[in-house]
Chains A and B, each alone.
Chain A
Amino acid sequence: MAGAAGSVSGPGAAGGDGDDSLYPIAVLIDELRNEDVQLRLNSIKKLSTIALALGVERTRTELLPFLTDTIYDEDEVLLALAEQLGNFTGFVGGPDFAHCLLPPLESLATVEETVVRDKAVESLRHISQEHTPVALEAHFVPLVKRLASGDWFTSRTSACGLFSVCYPRASNAIKAEIRQHFRSLCSDDTPMVRRAAASKLGEFAKVLELESVKSEIVPLFTNLASDEQDSVRLLAVEACVSIAQILTQDDLETLVMPTLRQAAEDKSWRVRYMVADKFSELQKAVGPKITLSDLIPAFQNLLKDCEAEVRAAAAHKVKELCENLPIEGRETIIMNQILPYIKELVSDTNQHVKSALASVIMGLSTILGKENTVEHLLPLFLAQLKDECPEVRLNIISNLDCVNEVIGICQLSQSLLPAIVELAEDAKWRVRLAIIEYMPLLAGQLGVEFFDEKLNSLCMAWLVDHVYAIREAATNNLMKLVQKFGTEWAQNTIVPKVLVMANDPNYLHRMTTLFCINALSEACGQEITTKQMLPIVLKMAGDQVANVRFNVAKSLQKIGPILDTDALQGEVKPVLQKLGQDDDMDVKYFAQEAISVVAQRLRKLDFPDKDSEEPSTPGADKSCFLRPTGPGECAGKFLPRMISRQKETERLGWLPRRQ
């Protein structure tokens, strides 16, 4: 140990000279062998630096053999190694020497841990592209064959992922061998290997000649699709998509469809789930004719499956399925063959099924047109709006725009209101948060009158919610509403109510006033800000709670750019100076920050010419000032004051740089 330590100091110190011969491999390897896993990991992650120091030749002759021999380490380290080696071709001397990387990666492809193995396979796939056809046959293909006939399942599993990358560039004789190996892995004794083969079946089929697909891949597919383990069968469904894309309609009918029909009625719900989950892909792959004859009936069965998981997966696909039907006759098919099943699902016993349906059902209205929507879909929307599960109602409300385009919202608005009110008062704050986020959208669709009458009070009520995230979202919501409805509306409906809260006995509500002002001042413009908001803010500087006072300082800094010189000089500055003398250190800190920002602003307003680089017109100036103080960033959590201050300073860091 002592000897090793001694030898480090020499080259380490001399390293600065740039003489790389002074880095003996032993020292570098010592780093890769460090007792501390974290240090070992760091060294592996900088393997390219080590290789660079050694040069290509010694990397090949000394470093790689070491790496190959010592593959017994923490999986974390092995993962990093597998990743590094994938991009190592340049460090061993370019594509001509890419095969030198194969031995360590081969070992990594046989380790137990899946993550490591997958990474090794990924790297091998990458490196295979850098091999010349000759090198591929001389080095890479033998490696794949060794892995494919390995003792333990891990190496055979890894091999499955490598066939498709070497097949296209191999000679015919080798191709036959590769196919043979793949065939035997598809009927491997270990289910793990069969699963790996099944999951790569589609990928492999794509690189094969059409004849081989028909004569070899299809039988493999059929076998895997009737495997004794459902975990294998369900992977065959995925392969089905790729295979179907390759074959002609006639071949599809005879070679693939019997198996697919069987999968859609498999006794294991996992397989049926997979069919439902891949339905859109399958639909595209088999084409419109088979869709009508086979897939629609299968889909009907999936929609009334006995397992909720399957029904939910199928419900998710309803819209895509309908969209992808051939336009001719689409309406009839949907109305006669799909809609009856959807109607059933609206009153399903499982909430996941209902909410999956609710997330797509609105999309049908554009496909079916106004009349059908009013007559058939509207009752379903209304039923879902009254559903007991909030997620279902939310999903309907979040997709209102689809319906609005087709039939206008008035048909729904009477039912919408109770649904919105109920969600707005839900006991779970995440539900309330979700509905707040749809408010601007709803406001846009419902119009200002409806909004004022029905929803305005809700938006104000959220401002005094007992959860901060809701109050914060409500503040942002107000700003978006003002952007939508204009300043006059703000002045009449929002601002007075917000300002009243400044006298609330609860300091949290008083602070909400400040946060609202921060968010609204930009949208409301100079006049409202100066005449209505500023006096309130200034008055609150005398608040007895320190949190309120330092938020006053922050607010003043934020609305400063909107105010004119007189207000800044005559009203803001004295108040900030007073806060700068506050007893509380946080108040003092933020007041001083604000003072410096306001002072800079004043200086610039007084001598606009001095700053020739900055745009000197107030309008342009304002925009550059305002950008960072967007509503999303309005920080200021209530209690952890130190944290909020830290955030604040970080964010303000750029201001001096810009000036």
Chain B
Amino acid sequence: METKLPPASTPTSPSSPGLSPVPPPDKVDGFSRRSLRRARPRRSHSSSQFRYQSNQQELTPLPLLKDVPASELHELLSRKLAQCGVLFDFLDCVADLKGKEVKRAALNELVECVGSTRGVLIEPVYPDIIRMISVNIFRTLPPSENPEFDPEEDEPNLEPSWPHLQLVYEFFLRFLESPDFQPSVAKRYVDQKFVLMLLELFDSEDPREREYLKTILHRVYGKFLGLRAYIRKQCNHIFLRFIYELEHFNGVAELLEILGSIINGFALPLKTEHKQFLVRVLIPLHSVKSLSVFHAQLAYCVVQFLEKDATLTEHVIRGLLKYWPKTCTQKEVMFLGEMEEILDVIEPSQFVKIQEPLFKQVARCVSSPHFQVAERALYFWNNEYILSLIEDNCHTVLPAVFGTLYQVSKEHWNQTIVSLIYNVLKTFMEMNGKLFDELTASYKLEKQQEQQKAQERQELWQGLEELRLRRLQGAKEAPLQRLTAQVATTGGQS
């Protein structure tokens, strides 16, 4: 087996997403539900789903599953499943109330039955079950009401058919978690196409739906070994499209959370495919505008990789430096936070490789006019492990940051920053007094040299520009000269 799922926690949830026993009916799963608190309907929203059922049949309540003899159970079960495959218009909240109630009751019963009754899941019911689930959950998500939907600011659009949809998801989850569930049978129906459509649903604006999808996909990944590579590949496609084409996909955080737990289970040594995922997908994900929505999960994934294989550190840090935010201070603070997480687990041998470019960037952050960025960067010096790394390599690190720190200590508008820098300089002095004195002495000289270099650059370009003009002039005049020369020679001959 190439990968194994972790038995325990995922990044944000304290409780287990693993193969825990079937949860009590009122509690769905161990994944945290923090997104639920803002689940307040704003306005009913259209759904593309309903238009495909034109002739609505009347639903009549069937006998309860527990009331029939075992011999008739499966026949009734499949009739109930068929009943639950009927869709209702939830935009019109008073339409067909009776039918909705019948379906709701049937779904509730199915949830109950598949969760608690043994021996229900026999082979013939699998196709019925998967069909019922597919009909209900697979739909083209409606267009977002707000084209500039900001997951952090705006209220999400909630799925109007949630009263039924929730029960279908719940049923799906119980089905997957049932002790009777046989992946070898189910894999005929839960195939690549099924998974692809499941992944597309992650774009749902409704956080409750994404929460269910996350748990379900996690279970699917765990139980269907044959689908694992495919799921990872399709996740890659979603991410790459998100990064380079759309910049819009609602379920990035959820997918990353699942991947975090998958990475955790990667076997060593890491396969090329997984390394490529880190370098070509996870690192570029840092460049996306809405980073704040999924940064925690992303940083977790990155650190997981580095804990698996420390030799990737250089790649990761250079990648982060490449995508370092230039104008968004909020993102810059996140980058600094992630960098500190990485430095917390870095091996000294790796630190040596990236210390110079890294600390030049840190120095630039310290000189940021936004005090939160400067402050976050200066907090690095409060971290004892980082401090020890700096101390071991002070001959490289100090020259890289000294000039900036020295300058900012005199110029920064924010008093807190100035005093923090003062502390850092003091640490440097204690760390290596001699080097500190040398740097102080050469600071002025370097400033002058910089100015001189700038001047020289200007002169160089001026020279080049003059040369260019002369060349252009020459190019214009050249044909003329040739012509006159020609005239002169022919004139001489005649």
Q: How far is the CB of B341 from chain A (nearest CB, A)?
A: 24
A267–B465 touching, CB < 8 Å: no
A114–B48 touching, CB < 8 Å: no
Per-residue A-contact encoding for B455-491, CB less than 8 Å = 1, 0 else:
0110111111111101100000000000000000000
B467–A31 touching, CB < 8 Å: no
- Count residues of chain B with CB under 8 A from any CB of chain A: 35
| Interface residues in A257-288 (C-beta closer than 8 Å to B) | 267-270
- Which of A8, A12, A267, A269 has the most chain B CB atoms inside 10 A of its CB? A12
Q: How far is the CB of A209 from chain B (nearest CB, A)?
A: 32
Q: Known contacts being A267-B52, A309-B143, is A20 close to B456, with CB within 8 Å?
A: no
- B50 in the interface, Cβ–Cβ < 8 Å? yes
A113–B456 touching, CB < 8 Å: no
B457–A39 touching, CB < 8 Å: yes
Q: How far is the CB of A197 from chain B (nearest CB, A)?
A: 14
B466–A18 touching, CB < 8 Å: yes
Q: How far is the CB of A3 from chain B (nearest CB, A)?
A: 13
Count of A-B contacts with CB under 8 A? 98
- Which of A9, A15, A50, A152 has the most chain B CB atoms inside 10 A of its CB? A15
A11–B46 touching, CB < 8 Å: no
Q: How far is the CB of A510 from chain B (nearest CB, A)?
A: 41
Q: Known contacts being A39-B457, A153-B240, A228-B196, is A269 close to B48, with CB within 8 Å?
A: yes
A-chain residues with CB within 8 Å of residue B241 when the two chains form the complex: 191-192, 231
B465–A31 touching, CB < 8 Å: no
A306–B50 touching, CB < 8 Å: yes
A23–B459 CA distance with the chains assembled, in angstroms: 12
Per-residue B-contact encoding for A49-62, CB less than 8 Å = 1, 0 else:
11011000000000
- Nearest CB to that of A72 among chain B residues? B322
B46–A267 touching, CB < 8 Å: no
Q: Known contacts being A153-B240, A269-B140, A306-B50, is A8 close to B457, with CB within 8 Å?
A: yes
A52–B459 touching, CB < 8 Å: no
- B284 in the interface, Cβ–Cβ < 8 Å? yes
Per-residue B-contact encoding for A78-94, CB less than 8 Å = 1, 0 else:
00000000000000000
- Nearest CB to that of A273 among chain B residues? B143
A192–B240 touching, CB < 8 Å: yes
- B280 in the interface, Cβ–Cβ < 8 Å? yes
B471–A52 touching, CB < 8 Å: yes
B-chain residues with CB within 8 Å of residue A27 when the two chains form the complex: 460
- B163 in the interface, Cβ–Cβ < 8 Å? no
User: Which of B50, B245, B459 contacts A15 (CB under 8 A)?
Assistant: B459
- A74 in the interface, Cβ–Cβ < 8 Å? yes
Per-residue B-contact encoding for A40-70, CB less than 8 Å = 1, 0 else:
0000001011101100000000000000000
A267–B138 CA distance with the chains assembled, in angstroms: 11
B459–A12 touching, CB < 8 Å: yes
- B440 in the interface, Cβ–Cβ < 8 Å? no
User: Which of B52, B244, B322, B468 contacts A49 (CB under 8 A)?
Assistant: B468
- Which of B457, B464, B466 has the most chain A CB atoms inside 10 A of its CB? B464
Q: How far is the CB of A172 from chain B (nearest CB, A)?
A: 36
A52–B467 touching, CB < 8 Å: yes
- A13 in the interface, Cβ–Cβ < 8 Å? yes
A8–B142 CA distance with the chains assembled, in angstroms: 61
Per-residue B-contact encoding for A181-203, CB less than 8 Å = 1, 0 else:
00000000011100100000000
A191–B457 CA distance with the chains assembled, in angstroms: 47
B-chain residues with CB within 8 Å of residue A15 when the two chains form the complex: 459-460, 462-464, 466-467
Q: Known contacts being A52-B467, A53-B467, is A267 close to B462, with CB within 8 Å?
A: no
User: Which of B237, B457, B462 contacts A31 (CB under 8 A)?
Assistant: B457
A-chain residues with CB within 8 Å of residue B471 when the two chains form the complex: 52
| Interface residues in B279-311 (C-beta closer than 8 Å to A) | 280, 284
Q: How far is the CB of B199 from chain A (nearest CB, A)?
A: 11
B467–A190 touching, CB < 8 Å: no
- A642 in the interface, Cβ–Cβ < 8 Å? no
Q: How far is the CB of B357 from chain A (nearest CB, A)?
A: 10
Q: How far is the CB of B388 from chain A (nearest CB, A)?
A: 28
| Interface residues in B42-96 (C-beta closer than 8 Å to A) | 46, 48, 50-52
A307–B143 touching, CB < 8 Å: yes
Per-residue B-contact encoding for A93-118, CB less than 8 Å = 1, 0 else:
00000000000000000001110000
- A648 in the interface, Cβ–Cβ < 8 Å? no
A228–B193 touching, CB < 8 Å: yes
A-chain residues with CB within 8 Å of residue B449 when the two chains form the complex: 5
Q: How far is the CB of A262 from chain B (nearest CB, A)?
A: 15
B-chain residues with CB within 8 Å of residue A309 when the two chains form the complex: 143
- B453 in the interface, Cβ–Cβ < 8 Å? yes
At the interface, is chain A mostly helix, strand, loop or mixed? helix
Q: How far is the CB of A311 from chain B (nearest CB, A)?
A: 11
User: Which of A13, A18, A308 contacts B459 (CB under 8 A)?
Assistant: A13
- Nearest CB to that of A306 among chain B residues? B51
Per-residue B-contact encoding for A1-38, CB less than 8 Å = 1, 0 else:
00001001101111110101001000100010000000
A-chain residues with CB within 8 Å of residue B245 when the two chains form the complex: 114, 192, 195
B-chain residues with CB within 8 Å of residue A52 when the two chains form the complex: 464, 467-468, 471
Q: How far is the CB of B401 from chain A (nearest CB, A)?
A: 15
User: Which of A9, A23, A192, A267 contacts B464 (CB under 8 A)?
Assistant: A23
B-chain residues with CB within 8 Å of residue A306 when the two chains form the complex: 46, 48, 50-51
User: Which of A12, A49, A112, A192 contacts B280 (CB under 8 A)?
Assistant: A112
A396–B321 CA distance with the chains assembled, in angstroms: 53
| Interface residues in A532-563 (C-beta closer than 8 Å to B) | none
B-chain residues with CB within 8 Å of residue A307 when the two chains form the complex: 46, 48, 142-143
B465–A49 touching, CB < 8 Å: yes
A266–B123 CA distance with the chains assembled, in angstroms: 34
B-chain residues with CB within 8 Å of residue A18 when the two chains form the complex: 466-467, 470
- A348 in the interface, Cβ–Cβ < 8 Å? no
B322–A74 touching, CB < 8 Å: yes
A-chain residues with CB within 8 Å of residue B465 when the two chains form the complex: 49
- A465 in the interface, Cβ–Cβ < 8 Å? no
- A621 in the interface, Cβ–Cβ < 8 Å? no
- A230 in the interface, Cβ–Cβ < 8 Å? yes
A-chain residues with CB within 8 Å of residue B193 when the two chains form the complex: 228
A31–B460 CA distance with the chains assembled, in angstroms: 10
Q: How far is the CB of A48 from chain B (nearest CB, A)?
A: 8
A308–B91 CA distance with the chains assembled, in angstroms: 14
Q: How far is the CB of B277 from chain A (nearest CB, A)?
A: 12
- Which of B140, B241, B284 has the most chain A CB atoms inside 10 A of its CB? B140
A109–B460 CA distance with the chains assembled, in angstroms: 32
User: Which of B50, B140, B244, B456 contacts A9 (CB under 8 A)?
Assistant: B456
- Nearest CB to that of B144 among chain A residues? A309
A18–B466 CA distance with the chains assembled, in angstroms: 8
B-chain residues with CB within 8 Å of residue A39 when the two chains form the complex: 457
A112–B465 CA distance with the chains assembled, in angstroms: 34
- Nearest CB to that of A309 among chain B residues? B143
Inter-chain pairs besides A49-B464, A114-B245, 5 sampled, C-beta below 8 Å: A16-B462, A16-B463, A16-B466, A269-B143, A270-B140
Residue ranges of A at the interface with B (Cβ–Cβ < 8 Å): 5, 8-9, 11-16, 18, 20, 23, 27, 31, 39, 46, 48-50, 52-53, 74, 112-114, 152-153, 190-192, 195, 228, 230-231, 267-270, 306-309
Q: 7 A-B Cβ contacts within 8 A? A: A5-B449, A11-B463, A12-B457, A112-B244, A191-B237, A267-B48, A309-B143
Residue ranges of B at the interface with A (Cβ–Cβ < 8 Å): 46, 48, 50-52, 140, 142-143, 193, 196, 237, 240-241, 244-245, 280, 284, 322, 449, 452-453, 456-457, 459-468, 470-471
The 3 A-B residue pairs with the shortest CB-CB distance, nearest first, are A15-B463, A12-B460, A12-B459
